[in-house]
Structure 1
Amino acid sequence: MSVNIDSRVVAPGSDDFVDEAWQLKEEINRQEGVLKQRHDFFTDAYRRSTVHCYVQKGDLIGFAAVRRDGYLLFLAVAPDYRSEGIGKRLIAHVAEDHDAITCHARTTNENALQFYEHLGFEIKRRIDNYYEDGGDAYYLKLGADVGIADRITDLIRR
């Protein structure tokens, strides 16, 4: 990862980077057809979350919004910055504060599913018609069984 990328944490209740996060999410939605949340839903969930951000030259290039219980609401990395370890590092930041991380991913989102599997997430169940548009989801979980922090630390060292 480039040395000129800054890590920031946005506390619950803050609007810091919310507009930038929305724009990044929408860019990914246009390109890949995922992250299809409505604006009001997205901004409300963002404001209620702790958001780990990576910023380069003032531009948001990745973020992970997580609830107090370790549920990952959003994870997004700008397409030009993928394969640089940013997503992995965002998950590592979340893992520092939680014994387990859970999330949902579209059953058709192969990139996300491969990413989560690589990190050690396990598919716990499939949920039909989970999304507003009728899309199906997998519920995934990392940790709580055996040392999540150790697993993430090992991944970052690779």
Structure 2
Amino acid sequence: MSVNVDTEIARPGDESHVDAAWELKERIRQAEDVLKQRKGFFTDAYRRSTVYVLLTRDGDGDENLMGFAAVRRDGYILFLAVAPEFRGEGVGKRLVGQVAENHDSVTCHARASNENALGFYEHLGFEVERHIENYYEDGGDAYYLKLGDGGGFTERLSEFVRG
């Protein structure tokens, strides 16, 4: 069965999908013990960011959030979340591709203990720039990651988005 996927972009100040994004983030936090930000911090950052959103719609027009990436003006990914039921289907790659298509540089932090995220970013060509101890509010360490320039990977991600 094919699924129609809609892409939307919420510009800074646009609160479209903020509640659905919070709910997805919380579902992932409860299941995986990551994305631990408090609601006030999350919603404020969401409102100040450009947010790339991938959605499916059912026959009644109801939306289902597949994933989102909240990004600062400089290409720094504040939040990237993909609903567990859509993982492995290219949703995260597509979201990062949209960011790469619109920014000269793509960077992010990932929790040092989040092996799934680190593997995902490494697979896309991100490189660890540095390790930061006690980065997160709960004392967790992080890696600062940057999408590598080698091999035209940014261009390939952009082609994936367009294709």
TM-score band w.r.t. shorter chain = over 0.9
The 1:49–1:146 alpha-carbon spacing in structure 2 relative to 1, beyond 3 Å, is: farther
Question: 1:117, CA displacement in angstroms?
Answer: 0.1
> What is the CA–CA distance in structure 2 between the aligned matches of 1:74 and 1:40, rounded to whole Å?
14
Which segment is superposed worse, 144-153 or 18-27? 144-153
SS of match in other structure, 1:24: helix
CA contact (8 A) 1:99 1:148 kept: no
> What is the CA–CA distance in structure 2 between the aligned matches of 1:117 and 1:149, rounded to whole Å?
13
- What corresponds to 1:122 in structure 2? 127
CA contact (8 A) 2:100 2:158 kept: no
SS of match in other structure, 2:106: strand
Corresponding residue pairs, total:
157
> What is the CA–CA distance in structure 2 between the aligned matches of 1:107 and 1:119, rounded to whole Å?
17
The 1:112–1:97 alpha-carbon spacing in structure 2 relative to 1, beyond 3 Å, is: same
> What is the CA–CA distance in structure 2 between the aligned matches of 1:4 and 1:151, rounded to whole Å?
23
> What is the CA–CA distance in structure 2 between the aligned matches of 1:156 and 1:119, rounded to whole Å?
14
| Runs of 5+ consecutive residues of structure 2 not aligned to the other structure | 58-62
The percentage of aligned residue pairs carrying the same residue is: 63
Question: 1:60, CA displacement in angstroms?
Answer: 1.1
What is the alpha-carbon root mean square deviation over aligned residues?
Answer: 1.9
| Runs of 5+ consecutive residues of structure 1 not aligned to the other structure | none
Q: Does 1:74 align with 2:76?
A: no
TM-score (normalizing by structure 1) = 0.93
- What corresponds to 2:7 in structure 1? 7
> What is the CA–CA distance in structure 1 between the aligned matches of 2:153 and 2:104, rounded to whole Å?
7
- What corresponds to 2:60 in structure 1? none
Kindly provide the CA deviation profile for residues 2-59 of structure 1, in whole angstroms up to 9, marking residues without a partner as x. 5411111111101100000000000000000000000000000000000000111212
SS of match in other structure, 2:143: strand
CA contact (8 A) 1:29 1:36 kept: yes
- What corresponds to 1:64 in structure 2? 69
- What corresponds to 1:142 in structure 2? 147
> What is the CA–CA distance in structure 2 between the aligned matches of 1:128 and 1:95, rounded to whole Å?
27
> What is the CA–CA distance in structure 2 between the aligned matches of 1:10 and 1:37, rounded to whole Å?
20
CA contact (8 A) 1:10 1:50 kept: yes
Hey, which bits of structure 1, 4+ residues long, moved more than 6 A?
154-157
Question: 1:112, CA displacement in angstroms?
Answer: 0.2
Task: Give the 5 Å matches for 1:3-152.
Answer: 3-57=3-57, 58-143=63-148, 147-152=152-157
Question: 1:155, CA displacement in angstroms?
Answer: 6.4
Question: 1:150, CA displacement in angstroms?
Answer: 1.9
